[in-house]
Amino acid sequence: MKKSLFLLGMMVCSMTMVAQTEKAEKPESWYFKLGGSYFLQTAATEFPTVGGNLPLDRTYVGGKLVSEESVTGSFGEGFRTGITAGYRFNARLGVELGVNYYTSNDKTMAQTTIDLASSATTQIVNFKSVGQITAFDLAPALVLFLGEHKGFEPYTKVGILVPIHGDLEITTDAIKPTSLTTSVAIRSVDKVKPNPTVGFLAALGTSYKLGKNISVFAELEYRNFTVHGKTKETTEFTINGQDALATRTTAQIHTNYRDRLDVNSNNPLFNPNTATTDKTDTTRPNEAMDELSSYVGISGLGLTLGLKYSL
């Protein structure tokens, strides 16, 4: 009888100790993070054609081309802010869903520099096209917690990026000579809307407890995805500072990106009935222009710092 009571007591003590251990190791179920990031581009590729201009940096002196180089880069460099909700299934495994707003640094996509005074033609344009991407995205991820030690809890996560809204804004400033002594200043702003896409992310981070519910965290994150254009619209067009958007045709304002162009496309390079050869007019000026779809990269390596609140 005494032996049975002793064994029963041992079992009760063991169960109590296990329950206390599980309770101590059981993490919070829900947490929220607020952070800011800065990303550096990790892969540079050649930019797409901008308004019919190749992604080149050209320099003319005395009306002659003296240098030319490809313009490469990525829109992966820039700032991001975001809020994340996370749920831990146990001490090691959890999931997160982030909502982020990203704005890239400005990137020169094409440029031509000439000596206007020595140029005898009015067709060469001194111009510079600069692009910037802004976007909202969702970032679901799987999180693996590596254990807490002295307030620090490192973790890794992998997931996907799903852009839900955004565009590529391209601003072009140009000086077009009208004679050897006169010229006009032209500015246009184009917004490129993307097709749906999905990207990849991977991160290594750690949190550090400041209190019972508050922690700070830091993450080193790599992300990679590309987007390609769906449509383009000119939202601003000025000549010498005066609004001239109303003077543009539908074909000059709107563009549909296609995977293939042929004689049925509304594009002067393929439409055999085009009356001019300056590549600006089409036989269907009241329809959107057709152009080949182009891709831009948004790959980057970034550092995120922020606060974490655990329920």
Across the chain, what does the average pLDDT equal? 84
CA distance 223 to 301: 7
CA distance 138 to 156: 18
Q: Residue 192 has which token pair? A: 């490129």
Per-residue pLDDT band at 284 (split at 50, 70, 90): confident
Looking at residue 230, its amino acid is: K
In the chain, alpha helices (H): 2-25, 250-253
Tell which residue, 165, 161, 110, has the closest CA to residue 133.
165
CB of 170 within 8 A of CB of 129?
A: yes
CA distance 203 to 247: 50
Beta strand pairing call for 289-292 and 254-258: parallel
Q: What angle do CA 110, 115, 116 make, to 5 degrees?
A: 95
CA distance 222 to 171: 28
pLDDT tens for each residue of 264-276: 888 888 875 544 4
Q: What percent of the chain has pLDDT over 90?
A: 55
pLDDT tens for each residue of 10-36: 443 444 444 444 444 555 689 999 999
CA distance 202 to 159: 6
| Res 124: pLDDT | 61
pLDDT tens for each residue of 102-121: 999 999 999 998 876 555 55
Task: Identify the architecture of domain 28-310 in CATH.
Answer: Beta Barrel (2.40)
| Res 202: pLDDT | 97
Per-residue pLDDT band at 7 (split at 50, 70, 90): very low
151 by DSSP, 3-state: which?
Answer: coil
| Res 268: pLDDT | 82
> What are the residues whose beta carbons fall under 8 Å from the beta carbon of 145, sequence distance 6 or more?
27, 88, 91, 92, 93, 94, 153, 154, 155
Q: Does 158 or 276 have the greater pLDDT score?
A: 158
CA distance 220 to 302: 6
Which pairs from 212-215 meet CB under 8 Å and 24+ separation? 213/309, 213/310, 213/311, 214/307, 214/308, 214/309, 214/310, 215/307, 215/308, 215/309, 215/310
| Res 275: pLDDT | 43
Intra-chain end-to-end CA distance of the chain, in Å: 47
Q: Does 155 or 115 have the greater pLDDT score?
A: 155
Whether residue 244 is predicted with pLDDT greater than 90 in this model: the reply is yes
Whether residue 125 is predicted with pLDDT greater than 80 in this model: the reply is no
- DSSP H helix total and E strand total for the chain: 2, 19
| Res 9: pLDDT | 44
CA distance 162 to 176: 41
247 by DSSP, 3-state: which?
Answer: helix
| Res 162: pLDDT | 95
Whether residue 261 is predicted with pLDDT greater than 70 in this model: the reply is yes
| Res 13: pLDDT | 44
pLDDT tens for each residue of 295-307: 888 999 999 999 9
DSSP E strands, 122-267: 126-145, 152-177, 183-194, 199-209, 214-224, 226-239, 242-243, 254-258
Per-residue pLDDT band at 259 (split at 50, 70, 90): confident
- Tokens 């101590």 label which residue? 24
Q: What is the pTM of this model?
A: 0.82
| Res 292: pLDDT | 85
For the chain, the structural domain boundaries read 28-310
What mean pLDDT comes out for the span 166-178? 90
Q: Residue 261 has which token pair? A: 């162009």
What mean pLDDT comes out for the span 27-56? 86
